[in-house]
Amino acid sequence: MDEGPYEELSDHDLLARHVAGEHEAFGELVRRHRERLWAVALRTLGNREDAADAVQDAFVSAYRAAHTFGGRSAVTTWLHRITVNACLDRARKAEARHTSPVEDTVRLEHLLRPEESAEAPAERADLHRELFAALRTLPAEQRAALVLVDMQGYPVAEAARILDVAPGTVKSRCARGRARLLPLLRHLRTGAGAAGPPPAPREEPNGAPPPATVPRPGREAPREGNREAGTPVPPQADPQDTTTAQDGGGRA
């Protein structure tokens, strides 16, 4: 197989080269997609260590199972689905360990305006902690749907492909999750004091992802927000979240 700059190859070609024995090609996939997968994992799990472990587990699974990729979806959605599954597995195990009463959480992008984020870092950190604590109380499936649609800005149809469910199921999970979140976080929305819901936080609650044994990601163009869920379109969820996902693969 001819050698060439990996950064010029498509995701599909990179995965094909990896399957053919050019394992360095998989490193380029990691560089391209790790930032967005990290954002999904952190917002689903709300814990840096768990998120890092979930992303690492997802890349290991993808590395080993690359030969099973059938090409019926884009590589990005296949990677996202594997990552979401790794997060859901961890969330379900955590739920099984904790039997305390389950309250419910909220959608984060309505609670902080962009101009606030530069002026009140301490308040923003407190807000993030409260939001993520609330988000962790949701059932894993509702949490995953809200993270993808409300926080990451995926269209409902795309989130459905990632989660391997019908679009109506995604909408239902989001609606139930929002209904459970609002009582917990209504005071935060009131505190924002805006005419209309404010956008999502622009930074992760604890900064950039920690070092991992996978290569560092590259940079890609930003994606558009969700316009299908019947809610305001969230802004860019994070300055580093610049990868797009367009397809499905793996289980959810």
- The one-character DSSP state at 20 is T
Q: Which domains does the chain have, with CATH numbers?
A: 7-192 (1.10.1740.10)
What Rg value do the Cα atoms of the chain yield, rounded? 18
Burial of 101 (0-12, 13-18, 19+ CB in 10 A): exposed
Using CA atoms, how far residue 122 sits from 110, 118, 134, 174, 215, in Å, is 18, 10, 19, 29, 31
- What is the Cα–Cα distance from 34 to 127, expressed in whole angstroms? 25
| Packing angle of the helix pair 156-163, 167-192 (nearest 10 deg) | 120
Name 223's Cβ contacts closer than 8 Å, sequence gap at least 6.
153, 236, 241, 242, 243, 244
Q: Residue 92: helix, strand or coil by DSSP?
A: helix
* Residue 32 · residue 220 · CB < 8 Å: yes
- Could you read off the pLDDT tens digit of each residue along the chain, which spans 252 residues? 444 578 889 999 999 999 999 999 999 999 999 999 999 999 888 888 999 999 999 999 999 999 999 888 899 999 999 999 999 998 888 766 654 433 333 344 444 333 343 345 566 677 777 778 888 889 989 999 999 998 888 999 999 999 999 999 999 999 999 999 888 887 776 554 444 444 444 444 444 554 444 444 444 433 444 444 444 333 333 434 333 333 444 444
Which residues are CB-contacts of 149 (< 8 A; sequence separation ≥ 6)?
Answer: 155, 156, 159, 170, 174, 226, 229
